[in-house]
A = this chain, B = another copy of it.
């Protein structure tokens, strides 16, 4: 593990919400080139330390967001994203494993990944 990777992983682990490359490369704890950030986000995901999804929001455009994944505990989380304040709310671990298996049997395909998230306006921004 290089310095950059350790630092990145540390930040992902501590973050309560998914973060994008642009958010990370602005962080003083990550004084690395953006190419390094991108390359290592790929690396961490590939190694099973992180997972990601692409989200588009009007204010921040289209970006990939990463979150920490404790290796072994296979269950990833799903998120709600507030378009106003750009906060993410954790909806808890994925509860669709059964459904996925049913679909695999029904259609005969193999699911390697699924993407699920919500977009809207959070409770605070609503009022």
The residues of A with any CB-CB pair to B shorter than 8 Å are: 54-56, 62, 64, 80, 82-83, 89, 91, 100, 103, 107-123, 126
> Smallest distance from the beta carbon of A57 to chain B beta carbons, Å?
10
**Are A110 and B120 in contact, with the CB atoms below 8 A?**
yes
B126 pairs with A103, CB closer than 8 A: no
Do the beta carbons of A91 and B103 come within 8 Å of each other? yes
Known: A62-B54, A115-B117, A118-B100. A110 touches B89 (CB 8 A): no
19 A–B contacts from the bound complex (CB under 8 Å): A54-B54, A54-B62, A55-B115, A80-B107, A83-B112, A89-B107, A89-B109, A91-B103, A107-B122, A109-B118, A110-B121, A111-B118, A113-B118, A113-B119, A114-B116, A114-B118, A114-B119, A115-B118, A115-B119
Say yes or no: A109-B83 contact (C-beta < 8 A), given A103-B118, A114-B116: no
Cβ–Cβ < 8 Å partners of A120 in chain B: 109-113
